[in-house]
Amino acid sequence: MELSANEILEKLDYLLGKNDYSAAKEHLLNTLSAAMAEGDEKIKILLFNELMGLCRKLGQREEALDYTKKALVQIEKMGIAENIGAATTYLNCATVYKAFSNPQGAISLFQKAERIYTKSLKPSDTRFGGLYNNMGLALVDLKRFSEAGACYQKALSVMQQNAGKEPEQAITYLNLASAAEAELGLETADVKINEYLSIAQRLLDIGKDRQDGEYAFVCDKCASVFGYYGYFAYENELISRKRRIYERA
């Protein structure tokens, strides 16, 4: 059986669009078994990336770290350490490390990805936005707040150059709010936090009629942050938007 990356990802997107994480994971594991049997190295690294990301979202620490290790080994096995695909894998692995309390290890991998992206991509490429947002989160964990702020500004600069990326900008503003709290404390940072949340809300409302899974994911990601800061009505609004999209899928 010939394995197609496009077919694998299309089915994965369909299942994630239905919020069916169990079926999505089963799909990836079944496909990985087939790739292992056929010795398809390119498909294997694709699947390691998708599995580490899914396990991270599901809070499955040991599995996520295991697929991260396998992906890094696979990069060396394939001799692609300086390729753009490797940079994306470094970013994904770093995100897993950050999620499971290894921000210093994450920074090292983010820097590898940044170096490859810088020599391979246009400065306006949206992949830089994801890189800098995630790097900023790890820097906040390390209390390197000025560096984190610089990363978030870089992420905003990239996304502002790309149409339809207002939801991603909103995520950055919520990251800035969390960073302000971490650095200054909730009471001291109150005005700044509310300013960032107001901007994020305005950006999210630009796409309020969108029906795509990407927007649903952002609504889901952002809702709890608004709830944390007491914006309960808007938290519920974002949850409703997410549900409407998933129910139509």
Residue among 127, 126, 103, 96 nearest 113 (CA)? 127
Alpha carbons 33 and 182: distance in angstroms, whole number: 43
- Quickly list DSSP for 73-142: HHHHHHT-TTSHHHHHHHHHHHHHHHHTT-HHHHHHHHHHHHHHHHHHS-TT-HHHHHHHHHHHHHHHHT
Q: What share of the chain is helix, strand, coil (3-state, %, to 5)?
A: 80, 0, 20
Identify which of 249, 201, 248, 191 has the alpha carbon closest to the alpha carbon of residue 223.
201
Three-state secondary-structure class, residue 60: coil
pTM, entire model: 0.89
In the chain, CATH 1.25.40.10 sits at: 1-120, 129-249
The burial of 154, by beta-carbon neighbours within 10 Å (0-12 exposed, 13-18 middle, 19 or more buried), is given as buried
Superfamily of domain 1-120: Tetratricopeptide repeat domain (1.25.40.10)
Instruction: Output the tens digit of pLDDT for each of the chain's 249 residues.
Output: 466 899 999 999 889 878 899 999 999 999 999 999 999 999 999 999 999 999 999 999 999 999 999 999 999 999 999 999 999 999 999 999 999 999 999 999 999 999 999 999 999 999 999 999 999 999 999 999 999 999 999 999 999 999 999 999 999 999 999 999 999 999 999 999 999 999 999 999 999 999 998 899 899 999 999 999 999 999 999 999 999 988 876
At the second CATH level, the architecture of 129-249 is: Alpha Horseshoe (1.25)
Could you give the dihedral angle defined by the CA atoms of residues 44, 49, 53 and 55, in that order, rounded to the nearest 10 degrees? Answer: 30
Residue entry with tokens 């404390």: 185
